[in-house]
A and B are shown apart, each in its own frame.
Chain A
Amino acid sequence: MRSLSRLALAAFALSLAVSVPFVLGKSARRVLTAVRHAGEDASAARVRSFGAPYVDAVEAIRRTIPPDGVYALIDGEREIEGSQLWVRHDLAPRKAVFLGKLHEQRNPQRIRNRLPGRARWVVIAYADRPPELLGRSRFLGDLERRRHGR
C-alpha cells in the first residue's frame, strides 16, 4: 500500500513538474504579446487577427446596411467552414435571413419568395476571402443569367 501511494505521488509530482512549466510558458507568451500590442485600438487588433481585406469589407457592409437593417446571407463555401457565422456575428445587430449555400441557389423565384421585402442586400460569406455585398436585384439577376447559361 505504501509503495503504491509513493508511486502515485511520484507520478503526480512528475505530471506537475512537466505541466506547470508548460502552462506558465503559454501564459508568459500571452503576456509578452499583450505588451507588444499595448496601445493598439480594437480596429487594429481586428486587422491583425482577421486581415485588412476582411475587416475593410465588413466595415464597408456596415456602412451600407444600417444597424436596424436586414439582409440575406449566403454561405459561399461548399464545405461547412462557419464563414456565414463569423460574418453574421460581425454584422449583428443587422438581422439576417439565411438562404443556404451558394452552389445550391438555383431558383431565383424561390429565393425572391424567401427574401423579406426589407432585405435590399445579399451578403455572401467565404472562408478564405472577404464577404461580398450585392444588391438584391443584382444578385437575382446574376442568378437568372446563370440559370439560363448566359
Chain B
Amino acid sequence: MKKAIGMIGEILAIAFCCIWLFPLYIVIVNSFKNRQQLYENMLAPARSFSFEYFATAMRKMNLSVAFGNSLMVTVISIGIIIILASMTAWMLVRNNNRLSKTMFIIFVATMIIPFQTIMMPLMQVMGWIRDTLHLPMLNSLGGLIYMNVGFGASMAVFLYHGFIKSVPVSLEEAATIDGCNKFKVFWLIVFPILKPTTVTIAILDVIWIWNDYLLPSLVLSNKGLRTIPLSTASFFGQFTIEWNLAMAGLLLTIIPVILFYLAAQKYIIKGVAAGAIKL
C-alpha cells in the first residue's frame, strides 16, 4: 500500500514537471506545423514532420552567423573575465592593505547598480574612445567583449575573493622559496586550486552573456555582428504573424542551450547554487 502511494507520488511529480515545461512543448509541436495546421489546433502534436520551417527560419535569422558571434563573444569574454578577475582577487587578498580593501568594496558596491543607470553614459564614453583613440569600441564584437569584461568583473572578483581567503598561504610561500616568481606562483599553484570557483563563474557568465540582449543591442548595429538574442529580436520585429516560422526559430535558439544543459548539468546546478551571492 505504502509502495503504491509512493509510486503515485513519483508519477505525480514527473507529471507536474512535464506540465511546468508545457510552453516548450508548445514550441516544439508548432514548429513542425504549417500555418493552417497551426491554427486548427495549437495543442495537438504535429501530424507531419517537415523541417522546411527550420531551414527558412535559419536562413531568415541568419542563425549560423549569429551562433558563431554569440559563441565567440561568450567564450572570449568569459576567458578574459576568469584570467583577469582571478589575478586581481588573489592580489587583493594577499596584499590586504587599505588600497586593496577600498578596491574590493568598490567592486562589490557597484554590483547593485542597474545596467540602465550606466547604459547611456557608457555609450558616450565608448563613442569618445572610438573618436579620439580610433579603437573600434562600438559596433564590433571586440568592444562588446570589452564591456562584458567590465560588467562581469565585480561578481567574479567577489566570488574569487571569498574563495581565496580560505586558501592557506603556506603553499605559495613554499613555492616562493623554491624560486617561483608571483606569476608562476599564481598560475602553477593558486589557479588550479580555484577550479570550483572558476567553474561557477563560467556557468553564471554563460547564462548571462549568452542571453544578454540590451547591451549587445546598444553596441552592435551591423547585421553581420548580431548575436542570437539580437537576431531573434529583429526576426520578431519582421515576422510576428508567422508563428510557425517563429516557433521553429525559437526552437533553434533553445536547442544549443538545452544541449549545453544536458552536457554540463551537474556543474550548472552546483555553480548556480554556489554563485548565489552570499550576503
Answer yes or no: do A and B interact: no
- Residue positions of B touching A, CB distance < 8 A: none
